[in-house]
Each structure stands twice: as structure tokens, then as C-alpha cells.
Amino acid sequence: MATQVPVELDRLFGQPSWLDRVADPVQRVVQDFFARQGRFGLEIRNFLNGVWLGHPLHAAMTDVPVGTFTTAIVLDYLSLLTGRRRLARVADLLTGIGVGSAATAAVAGLADYSNIEDEQRRVGIVHAFLNVLALTCYVGSLLRRGTRDRSGAIPLSTLGFALLFASADLGGRMVYHLGTLVNRQAWTQGPAEFTPVMPSASLADGQMRTARAGTMEILVARVRGQVYALGNTCTHWGCALSEGHLEDTSIVCHCHGSRFSLTDGSVINGPASSPEISFDVRERNGQIEVRQRPY
């Protein structure tokens, strides 16, 4: 029985299905929303994607509602068992904090959802749907707490908690089973010593090319005479940066538009949140040589 659940979930999410007919338009609505806000929308999306944090904000934000809702439900039932009103009041407060933080986490999750694909997107839409149901239960519970109707509030919180648990399980599946938004360069290692990768003469100004540095594929670009080198695998979803385009001293990924600085690999625009691996570069004896910087 224990092994049947993952198998059934693989069947449900593993191939194109009716879920795509829901997931696709929802994703486009979210993408259009950010696009309509122009530069401001880009800044907001960068913030929500966790560009400033170095990993998705959603993962960090979800700790708050999970922690507060879990503590609240324990206190709710303890208050029922002991009759202590103070426990009930703390549970009410925590439920309120949980609702506020869950709404914030949901917005960050939507920003991440706007640039995921395939099976991850199908799991993501069910994860989001369960979260909306859970949040609706908690808002209902909060309203009943406001009228001191605890016999109505606690069952709603209990149902919300069960939905949250199921949703969190799917969130874990997205990350740990499917690798959603995991840094695609996490296990890659470039050479620690300067290593020749191509003749200097083979890279014209304004041009970029791929090369091998040890076991790693890298992107080498020359901009205004200066040579830069980064890992070639986009940290967001694994697309080849060499298929993107140069924008001044940055490279824009063709898949979802992440933009990385050629200077140090930092993320300028998401949805990527992990920086790209970057290299020290020098030209010696007609060769371009690279050495990986600490990552």
C-alpha cells in the first residue's frame, strides 16, 4: 500500500492530461499579470522569486503558516480538553498570523508557478488548489473565532490543517521528487586551476561560444574586448544559456528570461534565484584560460 501512492501520483501527473487545461490558463493569467506591470512587475516578480535571497522565497515563507497553524491546532484541542481560555486566545492569534502569512506565501508560490513546466506544473496547480481550499477553511475559522463560535471554528481549522498537510506533501514531491526550482548547477564543478578552453582568435568581439572546462560545459563571451565565462546550464530549469542572447555584459536565457551578469554570474532578473557558476578568465599564449571562482 505504501508504495502504491507514489505510483498513482506518477500516473496522475506524469503525462499530459485534463490538468493541463486548468494549469495552462492559470499560468498565463499570472504571467500576463506580471507582464502588464512592466518594470515594476519585473521587480516584484524578482522579489517573489527570491532573486535577492538566493533561493525561492516561497520555500522560506511557507514555514510561517505551517508553524502557526500546527501550533494553533494543538492549542485549540488543549483548550477544549483543559477549558483554559488563554490557550484558545493564543490559538486565535496564531490562526490570524497563519492566514496572513499563508496569503503572502501563496503570492510567492504563484510567481514561481508562472515559469514551471510539464509534470511540475500539473502538481503545482493541484498544490495551489488545495492551498486555496485550506486558506478558505482558515478564513472561515477566523471569522467564527471573531464571534466566539469555537464549535464552528475548530472543525474548520481541522479541515484546513488536513488540506494543508496534503498540499505540503505535494509541495515536497515537487521539490524532492521532481527537482522543481532546484539549482541545476548544484552538483557541477569546474576546474580549480587555470585551464585552456579555446584559442583567443576563435572568439570575436560580441560573440559567445560554448567550451568544455574539465567535465563542465561553459559559456565564453567577449564583450568590448573583455572575455567572460559562466556555466552554460541555466540554474532555473537547465536550458543552455548559449541559446539565449547577450545584453551588454549579461546573458538572457531563452527559456524563461532569466538574466545573469557575465561579470560574476549573479542573477539580475529571475525566475532563476541561484547565481550562475562564474570563472576567472585570462588569455595566455593565444589561449583563453578559465578557473572556477568559489561558488
Residues that bind ligand FES (CB under 6 A): 234, 236-239, 253, 255-258, 271-272
Nearer to ligand FES, 179 or 257 (CB): 257
The minimum distance between CB 127 and ligand FES, in angstroms, equals: 19
3-state secondary structure the chain: CCCHHHHHHHHHHCCCCHHHHHHHHHHHHHHHHHHHCHHHHHHHHHHHHCCCCCCCHHHHHCHHHHHHHHHHHHHHHHHHHHCCHHHHHHHHHHHHHHHHHHHHHHHHHHHHHCCCCHHHHHHHHHHHHHHHHHHHHHHHHHHHHHCCCHHHHHHHHHHHHHHHHHHHHHHHHHHHHCCCCCCCCCCCCCCCCCEEEEEHHHCCCCCEEEEEECCEEEEEEEECCEEEEEECECCCCCCEHHHCEEECCEEECCCCCCEEECCCCCEEECCCCCCCCEEEEEEECCEEEEEECCC
Nearer to ligand FES, 67 or 257 (CB): 257
The minimum distance between CB 258 and ligand FES, in angstroms, equals: 3
The minimum distance between CB 42 and ligand FES, in angstroms, equals: 13
Nearer to ligand FES, 98 or 275 (CB): 275
The minimum distance between CB 255 and ligand FES, in angstroms, equals: 4
Nearer to ligand FES, 145 or 256 (CB): 256
Nearer to ligand FES, 64 or 246 (CB): 246
The minimum distance between CB 236 and ligand FES, in angstroms, equals: 4
